[in-house]
Amino acid sequence: MPEKKFTGTGVAITTPFRKDGSVDFKSLGAHVNYLINNGINYLVVLGTTGETPVLSKDEKNAVVSFVVELADKKVPVIVGIGGNHTQAVIDNINETDFTGIDAILSVSPYYNKPNQNGLLQHYKAIAEASPVPVIIYNVPGRTGSNISAETTIKLAKDFRQIIAIKEASGNLSQIMNIIKDKPVTFKVISGDDALTLPIIALGGMGVISVIANAFPAEISTMVKYALNGKMEEAKKIHYKFLPFIEAIFAEGSPSGVKAVLEILDISSNYLRLPLVPVSKDLYKKLEKMVKEVKDNKL
């Protein structure tokens, strides 16, 4: 079953840029190898963390092709294909070469705020159009609307192509109700680094992570511990990184994690407007936190 691929730690990878604003493929390649070599289970390309809204169509295609080729089936690759114009999403799916792509992550429609029936019909259309499995992405803080537990469960039961949800509502009651009533093979994946451990404890199957861009080995280890019932070991890592997680989101994402990646000498700290780098004060705080992690290796 394809859903077995998406247990554990996925990483919503950043898109590194050069000073002139162009995509830095050399750094992207080094970053992808760093993630794969440090135990992550799958890669997510063209997510929020990848600054997808400010990439051109040609850049998106180039980034996906580059990552797919570099991953070379060592780990699965998920590609973000979503939007608030259902037909445009379907057209995008129809135009995509899915060679080497294992699933799509489709963010719930934003700005036009559909009701639950509209959300259901949107994902029904995507499920019927997609040649690969579909992962729903519920992130009300960015979209302005929430996919209810009832809608998620109906989609999971009615469409085999819909195999999981990345849940970033922060609503643990909603997440528990999904886990309680979902089909056995349907996966609930944390979309919030700070809630990864509690969501796994409730029956979730991992995370699509931002912080793991910088600390893939540590976050992957935490998730493996949690999935294997070793909660005391997992809690130690969770609480060690919780302040770090809060700090990287303090001034927006991926601004925080891009600063950390520069501090770790993995990629540069350039973003495209309207995003800007974090403040000097936060950068200094992140430098201190990186040093503390390095001085206290897990």
Catalytic residues: 137, 166
| DSSP codes of every residue in 187-207 | EEEE--GGGHHHHHHHT--EE
- The DSSP secondary-structure symbol of 72 reads T
- The answer to whether residues 178 and 208 touch, using CB atoms and an 8 Å cutoff, is no
Strands (DSSP E) along 151-247, which ranges?
162-167, 187-190, 206-209
- The answer to whether residues 187 and 164 touch, using CB atoms and an 8 Å cutoff, is yes
- Helices and strands in the chain, H and E counts: 12, 8
User: CA gyration radius for the chain?
Assistant: 18
**φ, ψ dihedrals at 72, nearest 5°:** 50, 40
- Measure Cα distances from 99 to 23, 136, 185, 253, 266 in Å: 22, 21, 24, 30, 28
Helices 255-263 + 231-248 axis angle, to 10 = 100
- Residue 243 CB neighbours (<10 A): 12
Q: Tokens for 93?
A: 């799916």
CA dist 199 and 167 (Å) reads 9
* Secondary structure string (H, E, C) spanning 32-54: HHHHHHCCCCEEEECCHHHCHHH
